[in-house]
Chains A and B, each alone.
Chain A
Amino acid sequence: MLNGGLETDVLKILSDDDIKKIHNASMRVLEEVGVHVDDEEVLSLCEQKGARVDHEAQRVYFNEEIVMGAVKTAPSTVVLYGRDDDAKNIVLGGKKVYLGTGGTALNILDFDRKRRPTTAADIAKTAQLVDALENVHFFVIPCHPSDVESSDVDVNRFFHSINNTTKPIMGGIFTEDGVDRVIEMAAEVAGGRDKLVAKPFISFISSILSPLKVDSLRAKILIKSAKAGIPLATSVAPLAGATSPITLAGTLVQMNAEALVGVVLTQFVKTGAPILYSVVPTIMDMSTMSFLFGSVESAMMNAAGAQLAQFYKLPIYATGGISDSKQPDQQAGYEKAITALMPALAGANFIHEAAGQLDSGMTISYAQYVIDNDINGYVMRAVRGIEIDEDTLATEIIANVGPGGNFLTQRQTVEKMRTEFYYPKAATRTNYDGWVQSGKKDTWTLAEERAKEILKKHKPKRINEEIVNKIKEKEPGIVNV
């Protein structure tokens, strides 16, 4: 069937020679240009581990030996766990493909089709929705709760996610003590910190800024996360033409260097710490200075990113299923399809932002999650590929039916008709009359209907009430939704 984790690498947008050239160029950048780090703890650590550090300029330089040493000690497979449900685990690495949500939006296009700021309730509801959508394999916390005190944002984001889905959860951290408080809360749910670290159902995102910069808050999140043994994505988001070269090749060189900085720093903190080669390559619209998410160039660079990660034998956090359109429309459809399909066919492991997101990541929509679930279904079907064996070649069946017959009532037809094709749930596939009779509904409307139904009926496995009370005692800033 179409479970997450199917494998492929049929798309090769880079040749082996291209990969070598990008690698060499990235090594030169890390050794000669270096990385700005405005955190003395990290600079000292780098120096202690043998990197060349210029404390005054707050610059650290990594040679190839150091970088490749870290690449070697970083795990080739990182498992993100389902909460109390191993069927939901995602095993990142190699050519395995999973698609899931991404963050962090500030607005939602609600069922009334009006845009409003997102709240804690939207986190709970999107988690509940994703919990039921079979082609969304993980939950990156998608939005910012505007109704919560800023000091309590992190605990609220993670609490309402954990309480509404058992799929693996990942999220950015917005406060200095956020990592500690979220880990403590998750440990309570897991039944102890050792249990959480053994099977982490939460993971963190801490960005490295393009070009080539690590700031203090994010460095602290990185250190805490790596020390605690919680998986980490050090998202790097070069914006071609603005924060990286205009050429896709140059952006890949810088992106690769930045992604490897995340790997090196976490390995410096703790050898073997679970880290993802994390990339969000994008472009800028040079005619307007708009940040663009859903471009074909982004799709190409994410596919290239998958090849680079495979070259280093590191699991990749890539980006796909993204759009700059403001509502679930034609532009959203083609941008999402292209940007999800290309990295997937290249074997990108953790394709985030691939559900619910619109408006360059600034707006989410319940209906869009349902539409993207179908897009992801198409993508996973393509990842599964065309199985060739004696049975599927069906020569005997062709002979049995003979010229002029039909295959409708062949046993194989019935056996395979539900699995050989993917059936989208929010699409019109009837003839014109059928469409007219069912009310001439477009995809947006069909998806809204399905989203409403799921939110009404689906009951995710909640956190045990006793534990909820304990958590809320410690974290009184967690709001009720």
Chain B
Amino acid sequence: MSLLDELKELVVKGDMVNAVEKTQKALDEGLVPGKLIDEALIAAMDVVGEKYKSGELFVPEMLIAAKTMQACMEKLEPLVAADELKSAGKVVIGTVKDDLHDIGKNLVAMMLRGAGFEVVDLGVDVAAEEFVAKVKELKPNILGMSALLTTTVPQMELVIKALDDAGLRSQVQVIVGGAAVTPEFAKNIGADGYAPDATGAVNWAKNCMTGSK
């Protein structure tokens, strides 16, 4: 088995310690960081996604694989020139104002990172002004908002209006999710996308970046 395949397997298994060690070994043997990212790390997460879809893997195993991939990335990123680093896309994500629930949002963030996205997580209880300011500053491809409570979902509409008012709405694709959100609601408030779960969100984001959503 090649070093690339070995690393890929360790990431799929979520064996962080050995995966990071293997990454170092690959670098020592002269493998190019970009190749490691594309052919081992990202490829591993594709396998993980498939295995999740088929029911073989459960969510925690997918998260641990994503974390392992992250740990390897941290070793590689400093070695790759910024313009060389092929990000799948940039995502700003957060839970809306007055809502403190973040497990779902964290899951989505972790999964997106695992799929090669650059993710800026604004945390919980994020006000509309803050979302707008970050979109303006970071120019993400995608803005993701989460809300669990029926009392806080209306915040999502406020954020979209605020983006409109700031003239930023056309620059960013907005996806919403969370227990209280339905596809109809997402459509009504003018969001571009909706996903019922973390894998749905990743698929949507991938399609969004290739323009096939």
Contacts and interface: CB of A to CB of B under 8 A. Distances in A.
Q: Is chain B a partner of chain A in the same complex?
A: yes
Interface of A: 406, 408-410, 413-414, 417-418, 430-434
Given A418-B58, A433-B182, A409 B64 contact: yes
A417 B103 contact: no
Given A406-B103, A433-B182, A414 B61 contact: yes
B58 A409 contact: no
A409 B60 contact: yes
A410 B183 CA distance: 32
Contacts of B67: 409
A417 B58 contact: yes
A431 B67 CA distance: 26
Contacts of A432: 182
A413 B60 contact: yes
B146 to A, nearest CB: 14
Interface of B: 14, 58-61, 63-64, 67, 103, 106-107, 179, 182-183, 196-197
Contacts of A418: 58
Contacts, number: 31
A409 B64 CA distance: 6
B58 A433 contact: no
Given A418-B58, A433-B182, A433-B183, A408 B63 contact: yes
Given A406-B103, A417-B58, A431 B63 contact: no
A406 B106 contact: yes
Contacts of A414: 14, 58, 60-61, 64
B196 A409 contact: no
A418 B196 CA distance: 23
A413 B183 CA distance: 31
Main secondary structure of the interface of B (DSSP, over half): helix
Nearest to B59: A408
B60 A434 contact: no
B187 to A, nearest CB: 13
B196 A433 contact: yes
Contacts of A434: 196-197
Nearest to A406: B103
Main secondary structure of the interface of A (DSSP, over half): loop
A408 B196 contact: no
8 contacts: A408-B60, A408-B103, A408-B107, A409-B67, A414-B14, A414-B58, A417-B58, A432-B182
Q: Lowest 3 A-B CB distances belong to which pairs?
A: A433-B196, A408-B60, A409-B63
Contacts of A430: 196
Contacts of A417: 58, 60
A445 B197 CA distance: 25
B107 A431 contact: no
Nearest to A410: B60
Nearest to B106: A406
A413 B58 CA distance: 11
A409 B197 CA distance: 17
Contacts of B179: 431
Chain B CB within 10 Å, residue with most, of A418, A432, A433: A433
A417 B62 CA distance: 13
Contacts of A409: 60, 63-64, 67
A349 B37 CA distance: 57
Contacts of A433: 182-183, 196
B197 A431 contact: yes
Nearest to B124: A404
Chain B CB within 10 Å, residue with most, of A409, A413, A430: A409
B64 A431 contact: no
Nearest to B194: A433
Nearest to B103: A406
B106 to A, nearest CB: 7
A417 B183 CA distance: 30
A432 B64 CA distance: 27
Nearest to B100: A404
A446 to B, nearest CB: 14
A239 to B, nearest CB: 45
B36 to A, nearest CB: 23
A14 to B, nearest CB: 42
A160 B123 CA distance: 63
A410 B179 CA distance: 24
Contacts of A413: 60
A418 B60 CA distance: 11
A431 B60 CA distance: 18
Contacts of B63: 408-409
B58 to A, nearest CB: 6
A428 to B, nearest CB: 14
Contacts of B58: 414, 417-418
A417 B63 CA distance: 14
Nearest to A407: B60
A338 B35 CA distance: 59
Given A408-B103, A409-B63, A417-B60, 7 more contacts: A406-B103, A408-B63, A414-B58, A431-B179, A432-B182, A433-B183, A434-B196
A132 B71 CA distance: 42
B155 to A, nearest CB: 21
A406 B64 CA distance: 13
A413 B103 CA distance: 15
A430 B195 CA distance: 13
A400 to B, nearest CB: 15
B181 to A, nearest CB: 10
Contacts of B106: 406
Nearest to B181: A433
A434 B103 CA distance: 19
